[in-house]
Amino acid sequence: MSGVLVTGASRGIGRAVALAFAAGGHRVAVHYGHRAADAEETLAALPGEGHLLVGGDLADPEEARRIAEEAEAGLAGVGVLVNNAAVATSPETAHPVASVSYADWQRIWRRTLDVNLVGAANLSYCVARHLIERGAPGRIVNIGSRGAFRGEPDHPAYGASKAALHAFGQSLAVSLAPHGIAVTSVAPGFTATERVADRIDDALLAQSPFGRVGTPEEVAAAVVYLASAEATWASGAILDLNGASHLRM
């Protein structure tokens, strides 16, 4: 079974993805940025053996390189990378043009892009180079967002970073296919994680004709499929997972 590196796996979607791969018999590297205790809970919950914990700030290029190397060594090879870690939408990261200061605008944009886009790009580079050097096939799955298409008026840096992540994945899909590496993205809508539990209200539920929001497990199931050998021909795809709450042409 492949070694799987899941970034931002302390809780939420990342934790669900780590659990799903471990349940399938894969060895998993649980990455965290600053939630070490939560990441340890994820690690402890994984079935099977050979899993490990890897901490580090993806906004730092050298940290990204170290994370990739630790996972490569600890898993005896990373075959699947799931780029899930992100600076997410929250009251603390809101930056609407009409009310945010220019200094905070700069700060939030820089941090969001450094983690959500550049960090994912650097880690993808490092993991892909290891795969190429080993002559091994592999998978990269990016966790994007519905917000890349629908817009994020209070969090424009987040929406832009996710749109760029989708585009980055499509570029890699073309460049890495000759090496047997498939690259895909998923674009979840609002997902019921611990971080956003207090934001779920009737208006939010009504966005989907199903009358609910998504679950981390639904996103994880899609990621596991896209990382499978059967999904090779999906390379370059962006899979919408939003319960028909936003339909793009």
Catalytic residues: 158
Contact between 228 and 205 under an 8 Å Cβ cutoff? The reply is no
Helices marked H in 114-232: 120-134, 147-150, 156-176, 202-205, 216-226
Q: Which residues pair with 31 in a beta bridge?
A: 54
DSSP class of 68: H
Q: How far apart are CA 185 and CA 238, in angstroms?
A: 5
* Residue spans of beta strands (DSSP E) within the chain: 3-6, 27-32, 52-55, 78-83, 138-143, 181-188, 238-241
